[in-house]
Amino acid sequence: MGVMRGLRFVALAAGTLGGVYGAAYGLLTGQARRAERIIGPPVAPPHLADGVYLPDGSGPVPPAEEDGALRFAMFGDSMAAGLGVDGPDQLPAVVLARGLAEEADRPVRLDTYAVVGAATRDLPAQVEQALLNPPQVAVIIVGANDVTTLTTVPDAVDGLERVIRTLMDAGCGVVVGTCPDLGVIRPIAQPLKSIARTWSLLLARAQRKMVARIGAIPVPLADLLAPEFLARPRDFFSSDQFHPSSIGYDAAVSVLLPALCTVAGVWTGGPLPRLPVRSAVAESRRPTAKFIARLNLRFGRPVRELAQ
């Protein structure tokens, strides 16, 4: 299911709750269809540039240079896959691999398992494939498609925890880029924007708490990047107005790389990025959060984090 088609599903689900939202479901589904028309389907699959990257920034190089390479895997959805960049050198996984190689002063072997449209429930298949040659460090970016497929927050978080523990049990250090703020996407109009935004922020908050609790490193993408995407949408979004541009991906890499180098044991750049004063945690306490809790209860288990 495409992300925008999924938002139409969210809009339709809102109508099943009755009352004001039931009366407004036509408006919501109309907004989802309009956003889908503006964004359209991907014009091409994401680039792929797996291979070995050297500390001098070169790569990918022949497999003969792989001896002693640090194995780095990229898991997740279209953002992890880098959909929206103009060339392979701009892929977030490639930029991360080059940065990690420079910081570690050793070659880095990049393997990308991320798939466009993937949700948390798709991660086990990606990880199973990766464990044939287990990575030493990994980045996971996931969450947007959990929102648009109406995966409840507890179910999405439980599934992510199982995947992280599988990787950690295999000796892999894990960084998680938590769910981005879907409210920054301009083609999505109100009130559908508020629904998508609040659900994504609630999921990001729950992901972050779980990831930190089990010993991996969460990177709160919504907290750290949403202000820039809102301030400079023409620069930070690709032509589809949904996926990041190379500038947007560079911003994501700038907050993911310190965490990745930290789990690899090679970070020397000082403290990890700090959260802004106004975070997604505060935003997720808006009244719309109660409606998202009702949707979660309608389609699965309650969002217990709302009561904390």
The residues annotated with a catalytic role in the active site are: 78, 240, 243
Q: Give me the sheet containing 137-141, strands edge to edge.
A: 51-53, 108-112, 70-76, 137-141, 173-177, 217-219
Half-sphere exposure of residue 54, counting CA atoms within 13 Å on the CB side? 11
Look up residue 218 and give its two tokens.
């969460």
In this structure, the number of other CB atoms found within 10 A of the CB of residue 294 comes to 15
**Residue 65 Cα to chain centre, angstroms:** 31
Give the C-alpha separation, 241 to 237, whole Å. Answer: 5
In this structure, the number of other CB atoms found within 10 A of the CB of residue 272 comes to 13
Q: Which of 45, 9, 24 is nearest to 190 (CA)?
A: 24
What is the Cα gyration radius of the chain?
A: 19
277-284: long-range contacts (C-beta < 8 A, 24 or more apart)? 279/220, 279/223, 280/181, 280/201, 280/204, 280/205, 280/220, 280/222, 280/223, 280/226, 281/205, 283/197, 283/198, 283/201, 284/198, 284/201, 284/202, 284/205
Look up residue 70 and give its two tokens.
């640090």
